[in-house]
């Protein structure tokens, strides 16, 4: 094994392309240039080939990931664990406050500075917006955000982009529709911000009370991307290349009758899919609770489980990249 | 590392005996033929030699086990984790609903289909009878049941069989007595069903209210195995080759006086062991809470800690077999 | 991999110095001779070089650590996990009673005897004083205490000694001040007992109600170590070579006015550090909740995060030593 340094803030030393990721924190989709995106999507593709071919590698043998989850998330946590393990690295899983110094009143920076004594990279899931940036400010090892509150979820955005590319072969020129709770869904926000970098048009489908925040819509328009809004999924099902569905959460409605009135617009059924394009991708960040009927699962356009799998390849790519091993 | 495929439902391709396990789910003791049993017990024996000799191997290097426990079980979970790790594989441990998409309302099939995006094999412990079969129906990777509700616990049955064989050198011809709560104890049910395949006679020792379900007794009789029932352990202690003790659970009794009246029949003491055969095996699935006195632990016939250890060898054998590496 | 035996109670076979640790339990700082201490500090130093140079090794490849925590402790648990993983070993993490046979009424000896069927070494954190010694009595594999109740926390004591040595180059001749809750703090008790072996003088700084137990003070005096007590940190800040700060816990005070009256004496600020020696070490077992101001963190004398890191090296040394691989 080669000699090691602390990894961070030493960018610029190495000669090749991966230097832009080596030692970096991954806390927001806003930090990626088009070149960054192209690079990480390329590495993810190599990771997929590798897993399909031989299952795993020893690239990160001897490295340790601290997986610090302040709120539960089976799929994101498992995905990062599997990513690290398939790269030959080890994981310290820290889940739930009951198993944490937080219950003794410790600050996030102290917890982070402690964990980086043991680990080479830290993945952080936290309920408060901005927590990952705070962590990154204090850490000397790379921090990768696994979602903070209703804020960012950058690795989800990346895996969504990777899935579109992998399902349809391109992103430029597509019509992407996002459906469901667009107000609170951080996955939708992260994906929309990444899509700005491509030549696409967007339709946002939601009940009035769950519309996309004006700020994000404005960012789309400023980037020159055409935006339409509607509350009827029927209007877009025939023309969309990507239908990205999220949960309409009952508990967000003050008046349950309002919920009952809208929820049926947002169940994707085989009947609805019959009206969709032959070549398109139906996506969902999961978990689902009724937005997509189980009978759709066998439709070849149903991409959500492949989307899950892609999450592992994106996380493998990021872990390898920030540790200078991509 | 050789090329890999998804593993499942491709049985029949490989030429040798282990093909009958490659890609299979392990959800019920009923699925095993006598040849299956002989095969897996043989592999377990090789695993024991290997661990005694060198501690571990790299047979499953690069493979990942998702250990999905919907209810706590220290020993079963630890046993599977150790089994996978001693084979060189990695583990994603998912314990407790608080750390799970289940709390967001996700269905078991969706959870399973997500985890198999990351892992190569899934071990499932679930409180509902039949959960493992549901999981197996949806999964394309092998599912191994670690117990579902009061239903099956197939790996426990296998390790019990392996322990009898390992302690006494044979199973045919033995007198096996099962003692305690025979009504609710799934370990007893799984073991009884496996014992049908051998030429044995059985005595079931329990208070009236905790008798073996009629259905399982009937299966024994149909297989031509002599069955006796009694409520007094004294009646069998002198003639049994195997005494398999389970907990008599206080909370099962509506009338506590009834419990007090019976519980003493079911405490195995050194005094009672003095009347047992010189060569016999005293077994218990553990944890115990009084059914076997601590003073019995040093008796060479007390096999329950070796039984624990055997669990690891059986699970190593199953993991290697379903992944096509036995 | 070489042949293996059970590890324990076979001391005396191997010819070299590490035999004094091979197969041993680590349950109290009282068990260490000066030679033991010198040996383990030396191995820790080698572990540090190794990690700085190459990150990890394969010394304990194929070995399994069971990390059994009956109460939460992020940092101690993570430190042991990282230590085992950097040595190439695997970890079974068992955290919280909800994930434990304890909830079914199992005794500690049974849990230990079960886990040693799967693992090669057990780390135990338990809320009851003496639990580690009970565990060690029943185990045939080595037990390492990770703290029991208000009793011992031997690995913390060792890492503290190692930190003093590493920061200041020597321990003999130093003036060590301990500050805060000296009555309940087990880290302080373990460290004080180890310091007896060196030629040092001690000052204990605490409010009256949180003084060091008379028994431990007596042990210091009997070992010929000069001891002073005070309630003002200002009195020692100018002369101490080591200032070891612990939490003054609000909840220990019946009268909150008493707490308010004393707590300010025990906040280490940049202003206070301006009066400290140029070469000294400010230590804290962490987590902190106000005893050391964040503005002190960048002071080169602030040793507490290096102290955390040293914990991993000490635990690597102990794990390797008790498994006969140091």
Closest CA in chain C for residue B80: C118
Residue in A53, A78, A287 nearest the CB of B104: A287
Residue A170: is it exposed, middle or buried by C-beta count within 10 angstroms (0-12/13-18/19+)? Answer: exposed
Torsion of CA A124, A129, A133, A136, to 10 degrees: -20
- A→C contacts (Cβ < 8 Å), by residue, are 1-4, 61-64, 66, 90, 92-94, 98-101, 103-106, 109-111, 113-115, 117-120
Question: Cβ of B100 and A305 within 8 Å?
Answer: no
Integer Rg of chain C from CA: 20
Give C-chain residues touching A61 at CB under 8 angstroms: 56
The contacts found for C1-5 with CB under 8 angstroms, 24 or more apart, are C1/B54, C1/B55, C1/B56, C1/C61, C1/C62, C2/B54, C3/B53, C3/B54, C4/B52, C4/B53, C4/B54, C4/B55
Tokens representing B63 are 């493979």
Q: What is the DSSP string of A282-306?
A: EE--S--SSSB-GGGTTSTTB-HHH
Q: Name the E strands within A127-263.
A: 143-148, 175-179, 201-205, 227-230, 242-245
pLDDT for position A104: 58
Q: Which residue numbers of B have CB closer than 8 Å to A's CBs?
A: 1-4, 61-64, 66, 90, 92-94, 98-106, 109-111, 113-115, 117-120
Q: Nearest Cβ partner of C115 from B72, B78, B289?
A: B78
From the list A54, A93, A288, which residue is nearest B110 (CB)?
A288
Please give the pLDDT value at position C226: 96
Report the residue from A53, A54, A78 with minimal CB separation from B115: A78
Q: Which of A64, A103, A105 faces C72 most closely, judged by CB atoms?
A: A103
Taking an 8 Å cut-off on Cβ atoms, the answer to whether A72 and B99 are in contact is yes
Residue A198 · residue A157 · CB < 8 Å: no
Query: How many alpha carbons fall within 13 Å on the CB side of residue C270?
Result: 7
With tokens 């197996």, the residue in question is B136
- Asked if the model's pLDDT at residue C217 lies above 80, the reply is yes
Contact A305 B117 (CB under 8 A): yes
Q: In what order do the strands lie in the sheet with A143-148?
A: A90-95, A64-69, A121-126, A143-148
- A147-187 confidence digits (pLDDT tens): 988 888 999 999 999 999 999 999 999 999 999 989 888 89
Residues of chain B in contact with residue A86, where contact means CB-CB under 8 angstroms, are 62, 64
Model ipTM over 0.85: yes
Question: CA-to-CA distance for A127 and A131, rounded, in angstroms?
Answer: 8
| Domains of chain C and CATH, by start | 17-152+311-322 (3.40.50.1370), 155-308 (3.40.50.1370)
Encode pLDDT of A126-142 as tens digits: 989 999 999 999 999 99
Q: Is the pLDDT of residue C215 over 60?
A: yes
Please, what is the average pLDDT of chain A? 89
How far does A300 lie from chain B, in Å, by closest CA?
Answer: 16
Lowest mean pLDDT among A59-63, A236-240, C55-59, C245-249: C245-249
Whether residue A53 and residue B114 make contact (CB cut-off 8 A), yes or no, is no
Minimum-distance CB partner of A74 among B4, B101, B109? B101
Q: What is the per-residue pLDDT for C191?
A: 95
Closest-approach residue (CA) in chain C for B306? C117
Contact call for B92 and A85, based on CB within 8 A: yes
Element spanning B204, H or E: strand B201-205
pLDDT top residue among C242 and C100:
C242
State pTM to two decimals: 0.92
> E-assigned strands of C33-134?
64-69, 90-95, 121-126
**Range B249-258 burial, b when 16+ CB lie within 10 A, else e:** beeebeeeee
**Strand C175-179 relative to strand B201-205: parallel, antiparallel, unpaired?**
unpaired
Q: Which residue of B has its CA nearest to A69?
A: B99
Q: What is the pLDDT of residues A185-232, one digit of tens each?
A: 889 999 999 999 999 999 999 988 889 999 999 999 999 999 999 999
Residue of B nearest to C61 (CA): B56
User: Shortest Cα distance from B83 to chain C (angstroms)?
Assistant: 8
Residue C3: the pLDDT is 38
C105 CB neighbour count, 10 Å cutoff: 12
Residues C157 and C283: their CA atoms lie apart, in Å, by 12
* Residues in chain C within 8 Å Cβ distance of B60: none
Q: How far is C63 from chain B (nearest CA, A)?
A: 7
pLDDT of residue A102: 52
The confidence score (pLDDT) of residue A110 equals: 94
Q: Does A19 score more than 70 pLDDT?
A: no
A chain contacts of residue C305, beta-carbon cutoff 8 Å: 113-114, 117
3-state helix, strand, coil in chain B (%, to 5): 45, 15, 40
pLDDT band for C114, please (50, 70, 90 cuts).
very high
Rg (CA), chain A: 20
E strand or H helix at B76, and its extent?
helix B74-86
Give pLDDT, residue A17: 46
Q: Cα separations (Å) of A201 from A152, A275, B72, C25?
A: 22, 20, 49, 66
Helix (H) or strand (E) holding B283: strand B281-283
Ordered DSSP codes for A191-228: HHHHHTTSS-EEEEE--GGGPPPHHHHHHHHHTT--EE
For residue C26, give the 3-state DSSP assignment. strand
Closest Cα in chain B to A306: B117
In this prediction, residues C55-59 reach a mean pLDDT of 97
- Contact criterion met (CB < 8 Å) for C53 and A105: no
**Cα Rg of chain B, angstroms:** 20
pLDDT in tens, C39-53: 999 999 999 999 999
Check whether C19 has a pLDDT greater than 60.
no
Mean pLDDT of A83-100: 84
Residues of B in contact with C62 (CB under 8 A): 54-57, 86
- Please answer yes or no on whether B53 and C3 come within 8 Å at the CB atom: yes
Taking an 8 Å cut-off on Cβ atoms, the answer to whether B64 and A82 are in contact is yes
Tokens of A308: 């899950």
Provide block-wise average pLDDT over 10 residues at a time, chain B (326 residues): 39 44 95 93 97 97 96 92 98 72 72 96 94 96 93 94 98 97 89 95 92 94 96 95 89 78 82 98 92 96 98 98 94
Max CA distance (Å), chain A = 63
Which chain B residues touch C134 with a CB distance below 8 Å?
none
Contact between A74 and B105 using a beta-carbon 8 Å cutoff: no
Alpha carbon distances (Å) from B322 to B65, B160, C23, C46: 12, 20, 36, 42
Per residue in A298-326, pLDDT tens? 999 999 999 999 999 999 999 999 999 98
CB contact under 8 A, A95 and B99: yes
């Amino acid at each position: 094994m080669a000699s090691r340094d602390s990894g961070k803030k030493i960018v610029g030393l190495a000669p090749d392309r991966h230097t832009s990721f080596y030692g970096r924190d991954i806390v927001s989709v806003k930090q990626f240039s088009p070149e960054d995106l192209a690079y990480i999507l390329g590495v993810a593709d190599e990771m997929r080939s590798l897993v399909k071919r031989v299952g795993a590698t020893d690239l990160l043998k001897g490295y340790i990931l601290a997986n610090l989850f302040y709120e539960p998330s089976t799929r994101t946590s498992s995905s990062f664990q599997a990513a690290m393990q398939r790269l030959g690295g080890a994981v310290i899983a820290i889940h739930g406050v009951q198993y944490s110094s937080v219950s003794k009143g410790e600050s996030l920076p102290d917890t982070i500075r402690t964990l980086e004594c043991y680990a080479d990279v830290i993945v952080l899931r936290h309920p408060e917006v901005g927590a990952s940036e705070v962590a990154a400010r204090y850490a000397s090892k790379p921090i990768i955000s696994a979602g903070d509150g209703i804020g960012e979820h950058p690795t989800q955005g990346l895996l969504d982009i990777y899935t579109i590319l992998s399902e349809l072969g391109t992103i430029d020129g597509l019509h992407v529709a996002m459906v469901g709770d667009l107000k609170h869904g951080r996955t939708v926000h992260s994906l929309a911000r990444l899509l700005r970098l491509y030549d696409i048009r967007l339709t946002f489908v939601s009940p009035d009370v769950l519309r996309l925040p004006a700020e994000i819509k404005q960012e789309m328009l400023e980037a020159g991307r055409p935006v339409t809004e509607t509350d009827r999924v029927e209007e877009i099902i025939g023309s969309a290349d990507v239908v990205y569905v999220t949960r309409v959460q009952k508990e967000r409605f003050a008046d349950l009758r309002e919920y009952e009135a809208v929820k049926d617009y947002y169940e994707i059924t085989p009947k609805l899919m019959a009206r969709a394009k032959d070549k398109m991708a139906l996506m969902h960040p999961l978990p689902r609770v009724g937005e997509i009927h189980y009978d759709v699962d066998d439709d070849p356009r149903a991409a959500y489980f492949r989307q899950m799998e892609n999450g592992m390849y994106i996380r493998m790519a990021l872990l390898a990249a920030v540790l200078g091993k991509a």
